[in-house]
Amino acid sequence: FYMAIVAPSLLAADFLHLQHEVEMVNQSEADWLHLDVMDGQFVPNISFGPMVIEFVKKVTTKTCDVHLMIEEPSRYFEQFKKAGADHINIHIETCPRLHQDIQQIKAMGLKAGVAINPHNPASLLSDIIADVDIVLVMSVNPGFGGQQFIPNTLNKIREIKKLIREKGSSALINIDGGVTLGNAAEIVAAGADVLVAGSTVFGSKDPLGAIRELKKL
């Protein structure tokens, strides 16, 4: 069987007991910790910024996968690097100079990801895919945890996989939104390398068990 990379999303954690939640992830078989930054502009919700990530970084032993759902994200690359980001994912929808922004993230020594909203086709990635380390495929409209997986994402994963082969890219395909123990196997079968999971992990009575199940498909 194929071992997916699993990235619990802290958005669904209990923020009153953040240290406990981060330590739970440390104890788990998860690979990355997914950190959702929202500005109330690009998405309707406001979450947290570099300050919270800086505290999380003191405790976590996992790779910090930062997902910037903010307008003009390049204004904050330096701050997120300082806070402890290992990966910075930026949206194609917020970056008119995406190529330049991706190069900037990589020049800082971080892995660069491009995130793409559900309505945008895989073909939009054709001239950037060879330059990125990660494609973050949104399988819900960004802004909130606990939403339903959009089924067309499975076709999009297959198309992106094909594009990666055609362009000689080494990008990982990461799926974000509505990933459950029920649909994870077909998402991985479609070609996903990484699974983000918020409510499936933190909403579970047995979060360690949920992470283990996502790993072992």
Query: Nearer to ligand DX5 by C-beta: 130 or 181?
Result: 181
By the 8 A CB rule, do 149 and 179 touch?
Answer: yes
- Residue 42 CA to residue 145 CA, distance in Å, equals 16
- For 109, list phi and psi in degrees, rounded to 5: 85, 15
Taking CB under 5 A as the criterion, the residue among 31, 36, 93, 101 binding Zn ion is: 36
Binding site, by residue number, is 9, 34, 36, 67, 143-146, 176-178, 198-199
CA distances from 66 to 21, 29, 52, 203 (A): 17, 19, 12, 21
Tokens of 148: 């339903």
Binding residues vs ligand DX5 (CB under 6 A):
9, 11-12, 34, 36, 67, 140, 142-143, 145-147, 176-179, 196-200
3-state secondary structure of 124: helix
- Residue 111 CA to residue 34 CA, distance in Å, equals 14
Least distance to ligand DX5, CB of residue 127, Å: 24
Query: Does position 87 bind Zn ion by CB under 5 A?
Result: no
Least distance to ligand DX5, CB of residue 39, Å: 12
User: Alpha-carbon Rg of the chain, whole angstroms?
Assistant: 16
List the single partner that 147 binds among Zn ion, ligand DX5, none, CB under 5 to 8 Å by kind.
ligand DX5
The span from the first CA to the last CA of the chain, in angstroms, equals 7
- Residue 10 CA to residue 15 CA, distance in Å, equals 9
Which residues 171-200 are close enough to bind Zn ion by CB under 5 A? 176
Kindly name the residue from 31, 36, 39, 193 that is annotated as catalytic: 36
Q: Is 176 a known active-site residue?
A: yes
List the single partner that 177 binds among ligand DX5, Zn ion, none, CB under 5 to 8 Å by kind.
ligand DX5
Least distance to ligand DX5, CB of residue 109, Å: 24
Interaction site with Zn ion (CB under 5 A): 36, 67, 176
Give the residue numbers annotated as catalytic, written as ranges.
36, 176
